[in-house]
């Protein structure tokens, strides 16, 4: 493992372009928590990195939940008496409330009104609405369009289907040399919303592809899941795996121009928290750190008291703190290639840090081992300065008790992590140390 | 349970008047750690709230102590040669050292002097002195009266009795729906001292009466005890009950005009400490918080290492920090009805907080339970604002691990405790939560 | 035990003189980690305090190490063609690299150069160099002398021997009444370096002599060891004893004019750390406290993860932070009698504190014991001021739970440690308390 983050400027520009292309291709598809739009999106991601897909049948019990029926949609519109389509799903897939049941009929505006959703404060934006677990139908439209609507009558069509099918979840596993793994999770269930969630889908798939090319100590499991129900389903189906998970990250909303936001795991000072915060501090990037709250993305599920994984969340501007959130304004212009590249770079640095921040065990822990007879100690004594590599050895040997990662030793000692990492390898080669994975 | 504190202004004025009347009736009685004055005082309190009285015979072993002989007094005076009573117990019951042995004789001033106690710094005040465990007799008088005494001789009478009898302790138990309880303890052994201890006797009996009318989750055990020996006796006789006691408060000196003082339990961050401090912060009342010290009132006994109850102390100006303490100046004018009402209000708010700050267990702790199918989640998704009640559910479910009270969740989440409390009831009704009492 | 620190001014001056004399006598000897110079030094120390010496044969395995061959030297010089000795061990024993192998030969400057060590920045000082575990030879000389050397040839003689023998370690044990002990350790392996390590040798032997005259609760084990290999050897040979060691101090570099530096044990808040820091704060002496690092003196070995003793280090200016360190400028003029006395005084105060800061167990822990019937409580009650000795009793009884030392109780209560100590003895005499040693 020699990479540090995303690499050089050329590589960064190239990665930015590639991820933005993925966002652009995903954008027009109508994703939801189930259905063909989700499957097609995962097919596109699979061009970047192979994905293992699972289809979990509707009706499957997953903890307290049940996998819902599968939803698909072909056509949906509202037409006025003249046949002019006032709202048309063909124009924008946010126009239909996700999981809208099939409907065909002629209604006056008064009857139709409860099924119409707009944003009076943002008259030219279409809101995003869903109704996964409450069977109904509806249209989202701009406030301008809504205001222009006369008393009707209107012809309304929703040519959707809601029937037994499957929930699609996908993952890619980068095996490590140890059996400990970190999860990286993003949600894939939103339709034409570019920052939320396409940015994370593009970044996570690119990250997975890059890690596949590396040899890592830890395994990295990339989860591409419909929000909430997907995470719950994955957790329910992978209960046996949980003890091997050393922590993880939810990635969401990494395409806007804002600085980074790291939301801590419920524990608050888990290894993933310490590592991400260390990487953020060193990055020079504008960032802030937030405490855990039980609302947000799938970190809610991972950190629930009966699951107890140590999973933080990395994003840029948090959901709900930019007006474009969950509206048609979260479009391709709201996401920037360089923002995607910056997020990928940071995530790769987190991996670098995890990989170079292992915990070790000193195999000769009673007093210092005799470094001299192993050729590990300067030949001549007495010089006040023991030299950096010898200090690194002493620090590691003293703190290789299975409790301290190299990164923590680096902070405590002031010795660069790279030096410690190299030194740990040397000590391991001499049989004085082993990884405590 | 709907009350918050003491209720409206009218109720407050009424309660203040009633408690002050109790203080006024108790004031003239000569209480000590045993005897008829103590019994009569408990009879008066029992007009406010029923009391279960125990008479523990003299000689009973209670831990390292022995219940002392019972002391009663009828008459006591010092008369000069002309028959004028220089000091007369009939004028003020502080005039006799508590537990003075019977005495009759004629003495010159020189012989009498070691038996006279006054306060040169406060020439018009009578001090309060006791001699429970050291058989002797004495008089307390003003320095002015002391200085006016000539060489004598004086006729001295103490018509007291000190013989086998009983120690009287009393309690009132407000049963809760759970078997966990809090104790509220005050001492009842001081004679005519209005703030120390009549104020607490009046407030605690009124508080007990009010809680009796409520339905509470926790039990509340009100202890009316002679200081030190009473608490030790109660603890020795109730050893089996100790594991059920979740904490408690000693109440003392709540009638003066000073702000509140809360003295923490020995543990320092016990639940009772956190709750009282939260209530004080919110009250807007002038207050300060002190660390535990092993001196003071009966918190000494409750917090002793072999007992280990988590008991704090609530009062106004601490003993010894007001000059009137343990003198005749701690009289009816030193205690204010409104101070009594303020203390009662605060104590009731502590109960409100304890009752609304239970710890819970999430019964569906693996991921979030599906709130939607229980009708607990807004029907339509996508809105950035999840709404207060849904946030409350998520916070509670995530922290209902038996370690976090609702009040702590309130502080951490910024959600009002009332909302959390209501929400917890809703979740419990849906089988998602149970009290961890 | 009545002493407090070093005692009065006269005693201090006398002790300072005596310790400085020891430094002066030790200074000319050529010590190393083995050999006759070390043995002779221990003989001199044994005039102050009896030492139990052990000779551990070369080749003995001690943990990961092997006791090295014994090194002795008689003569060593470099002479120019005219026979003039350019460098002569007879002038200064720093002139020869410690553990130099025997050598005799004629060399040109070019051949000789790799064997010459000087300090260009400090042209008139001789550096100190060692080569214990790498068989070679060398000379240390001033930069001025080095620059004056012509192309040679030079006659070189090192009349040393490096052969199987023994490593000498020495200790003095002051037995306590309990079986718990503290170690006080100094290194004795440096040649003519007055502050590092003669100052500590003198102070530790004087301290040992003084403690021998006292009756102490804890045992105090004084270790006079060659650095690193000596500590490792002692630990390897005394594994059974380690569980009895309650903590300790490495003493080093206590003769310069600098303030004190205390380096914490690895644990950081061990009892020895709290005690030393308390003593330093009270001393009024200029001092600073440093966190543990795994470099330094033999605290490295004591605090290694497989040994785990709680050993801090007390010195004045730390090694490497004064330019004279490991050079001929660390001479008799660099060490001051008063600095030695100050260090001794501080160390004795640490002992005073340990001795007067025992942990106790309350033998009557349920409520307060009845002090009155034991004559331990003032006869007359009611006085607001309970008096210092009664407060001391209450504090001790409440915190005599085996977790709190008297010193901590002193800090928490504001009661002088002397009062607490006296009070604890009283309580123990009455069967209410026992030492938890």
CA dist C317 and B3 (Å) reads 66
Which residues contact residue A428 at a Cβ distance below 8 angstroms, ignoring those fewer than 6 apart?
Answer: A360, A434, A435
In angstroms, the CA A27 to CA A9 distance is 27
Model confidence band, residue A3 (pLDDT cutoffs 50, 70, 90): very low
Q: What would the pLDDT profile of B36-95 be if each residue is shown by its tens digit? A: 999 999 999 999 999 999 999 999 999 988 999 999 999 999 999 999 999 999 999 999
Residues C366, B6: Cα–Cα separation, whole Å: 36
SS3 C150: coil
Nearest to C134 among A379, A398, A413 (CB): A379
CA dihedral of residues C323, C281, C270, C241 (deg, nearest 10): 70
3-class secondary structure per residue, chain B: CCCCCCCCHHHHHHHHHHHHHHHHHHCCCCCCCCCHHHHHHHHHHCCCCCCEEEEEECCCEECCEECCCEEEEEEEEEECCCCCEEEECCCCHHHECECCCCEEEEECHHHHHHHEECCCCCCCCCECCECCCCCCCCEECCHHHHHHCCCCCEEEEEEEEEECCEEEEEEEEECECCCCEEEEEEECCCCCCHHHHHHHHHHHHHHHHHHHCCCECCEEEEEEECCCHHHHHHHHHCHHHHHHEEEEEEECCCCCCCCEEEECCCCCCCHHHHHHHHHHHHHCCCEEEECCCCCCCCHHHHCCCCCCCCEEEEECCCCCCCCCCCECCCCCCCCCHHHHHHHHHHHHHHHHHHHHCCEEEECCCCCCCCCHHHCCCCCCECCCCCCHHHHHHHHHHHHCEEEEEHHHHHHHHCCCHHHHHHHHHHHHHCCCEEECC
Q: What is the DSSP letter of C269?
A: S
Question: In this structure, what are the phi and psi dihedrals at residue B36, rounded to the nearest 5 degrees?
Answer: -70, -30
Mean pLDDT of chain A: 92
- How far does CA B177 lie from the centroid of its chain? 23
Residue A398 pLDDT grade (very low, low, confident, very high; cuts 50, 70, 90):
confident
A·C CB contacts under 8 A: 97
For A243, other C-beta atoms within 10 Å of its C-beta total: 9
- pLDDT tens-place string over residues A144-184: 999 999 998 999 999 999 999 999 999 999 999 888 899 99
B 331-370 residues with CB < 8 A to A: 362, 364-370
Residues of B within 8 A of A303 (CB-CB) are 398
Pairing of strands C65-66, A311-315: unpaired
Give the pLDDT confidence score for residue A342 in this predicted structure.
97
> What was the pLDDT predicted at A179?
84
Taking the CA of residue B31 and the nearest CA in chain C, the distance in Å comes to 14
Nearest to B382 among A266, A295, A326 (CB): A326
Residue C419 to residues A421, B294, C155, C279, C413, Cα–Cα distance (Å) = 54, 16, 71, 17, 11
Pick the closest to residue C299 from C289, C315, C290, C312 (CA basis): C312
Residue A132: its chain B contacts at CB < 8 A?
372, 381
First to last CA, chain C: 17
Amino acid C68: pLDDT: 94
| Res. B315: pLDDT tops 50 | yes
CA distance B265 to B303: 7
Answer whether A397 sits within 8 Å of C130, measured CB to CB: no
Which pLDDT tens digit goes with each residue over B336-371?
999 999 999 999 999 998 887 778 888 988 888 888
Give the pLDDT confidence of A78-119 residue by residue, as tens digits. Answer: 999 999 999 999 999 999 999 999 999 999 999 999 999 999
Cα distance between residue C334 and residue C343, in whole Å: 15
Nearest to C370 among B65, B305, B320 (CB): B65
pLDDT at A367 over 50: yes
Q: How far is CA B411 from CA A267, B23, B217, B357, in A?
A: 17, 38, 22, 11
The bridge status of strand B260-263 relative to strand A52-57 is: unpaired
Q: Comparing A44-58, A351-365, B374-388, which segment has the lowest mean pLDDT? A: B374-388
**Which of C305, C317, C320 to mutate against chain A (most A CBs within 10 Å)?**
C305
First to last CA, chain A: 17
Give just the sign of the alpha carbon dihedral A390, A391, A394, A395. Answer: negative
C96-108 residue pLDDT tens: 999 999 999 999 9
Q: How far is A269 from chain C (nearest CA, A)?
A: 20
Question: What is the rounded distance in angstroms from the CA atom of residue B295 to the CA atom of residue B301?
Answer: 10
Question: Which among B364, B366, B411 is the top mutation candidate for probing chain A, defined by the most A β-carbons within 10 Å of its own β-carbon?
Answer: B366
Q: What is the pTM of this model?
A: 0.53
Given a contact cutoff of 8 angstroms between Cβ atoms, the answer to whether A182 and A272 are in contact is yes
B276-299 confidence digits (pLDDT tens)? 998 999 999 999 999 998 888 999
B:178-237 residues touching chain C, CB 8 A cutoff = 228, 231-232, 235-236
Residue-wise pLDDT for C283-303, tens only, equals 999 999 999 988 889 999 999
- Measured over the CA atoms of residue C363, residue C368, residue C370 and residue C375, the dihedral's sign is positive
What pLDDT score does C390 carry?
A: 86
Structure tokens at B318: 């601490």
A353 compared with C166, residue with greater pLDDT: C166
Q: What is the rounded distance in angstroms from the CA atom of residue A87 to the CA atom of residue A143?
A: 12
The pLDDT score that the predictor gives to residue A1 is: 35
C381 touches chain B (CB under 8 A): yes
Q: pLDDT: is B401 or B428 the higher one?
A: B428
Residue A141 host element (H or E): none
Longest dimension (CA), chain A: 97
Where does residue A43 rank: exposed (0-12), middle (13-18), buried (19+ CB within 10 A)? Answer: middle
- Mean pLDDT computed over A337-359: 92
User: Is residue B339 within 8 Å of residue B314, measured between CB atoms?
Assistant: no
Please report, to the nearest 10 degrees, the dihedral formed by the alpha carbons of residues A87, A89, A91, A92 taken in order: 110
Under DSSP, the state recorded for A188 is: -
For β-strands B260-263 and B287-290, DSSP reports them as parallel
Query: Residue C90 corresponds to which tokens in the numbers above?
Result: 């007879």
At C54 the three-state DSSP class reads: strand
More confident residue, B369 or A223: A223
**What's the pLDDT tens digit per position in B120-139?**
999 999 999 999 988 999 99
Query: Using the beta-carbon criterion (under 8 Å), do A134 and B379 form an inter-chain contact?
Result: yes
């Amino acid at each position: 493992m020699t990479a540090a983050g995303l690499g050089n400027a050329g590589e960064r520009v190239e990665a930015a372009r590639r991820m933005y292309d993925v966002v652009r291709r995903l954008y027009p598809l109508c994703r939801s928590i189930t259905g063909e739009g989700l499957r097609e999106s995962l097919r596109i991601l699979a061009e970047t990195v192979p994905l293992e897909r699972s289809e979990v049948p509707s009706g499957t019990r997953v903890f307290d939940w049940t996998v819902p029926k599968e939803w698909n949609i072909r056509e949906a519109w509202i037409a006025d008496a003249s046949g002019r389509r006032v709202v048309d799903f063909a124009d924008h897939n946010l126009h239909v409330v996700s999981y809208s049941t099939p409907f065909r009929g002629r209604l006056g505006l008064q009857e139709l009104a409860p099924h119409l959703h707009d944003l009076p404060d943002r008259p030219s934006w279409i809101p995003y609405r869903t109704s996964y677990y409450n069977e109904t139908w509806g249209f989202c439209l701009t406030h301008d369009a809504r205001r222009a609507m006369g008393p009707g009558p209107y012809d309304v069509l929703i040519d959707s289907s809601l029937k037994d099918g499957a929930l699609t979840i996908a993952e890619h596993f980068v095996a490590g040399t140890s059996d400990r793994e970190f999860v990286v999770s993003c949600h894939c269930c939103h339709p034409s919303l570019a920052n939320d969630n396409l940015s994370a889908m593009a970044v996570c798939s690119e990250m997975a592809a890059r890690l596949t090319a590396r040899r890592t100590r830890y395994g990295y499991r990339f989860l591409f899941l419909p929000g909430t129900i997907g995470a719950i389903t994955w957790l329910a189906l992978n209960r046996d795996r949980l003890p091997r998970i050393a922590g993880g990250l939810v990635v969401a909303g990494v395409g806007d121009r804002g600085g980074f936001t790291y939301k801590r795991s419920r524990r608050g000072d888990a290894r993933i928290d310490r590592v991400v915060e260390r990487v953020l501090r060193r990055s020079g990037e504008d960032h802030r750190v937030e405490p855990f709250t039980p609302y947000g993305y799938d970190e809610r599920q991972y950190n629930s008291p009966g699951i107890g994984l140590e999973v933080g969340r990395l994003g840029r501007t948090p959901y709900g703190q930019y007006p474009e959130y969950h509206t048609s304004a979260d479009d391709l212009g709201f996401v920037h290639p360089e923002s995607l590249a910056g997020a990928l770079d940071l995530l790769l640095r987190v991996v670098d840090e995890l990989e170079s921040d292992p915990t070790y065990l000193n195999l000769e822990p009673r007093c210092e081992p005799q470094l001299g007879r192993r050729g590990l100690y300067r030949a001549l004594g007495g010089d006040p300065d023991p030299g950096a590599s010898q200090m690194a050895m002493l620090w590691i040997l003293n703190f290789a008790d299975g409790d301290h990662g190299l990164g923590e030793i680096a902070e405590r000692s002031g010795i660069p992590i790279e030096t410690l990492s190299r030194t740990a390898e040397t000590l391991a080669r001499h049989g004085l140390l082993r990884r405590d994975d």
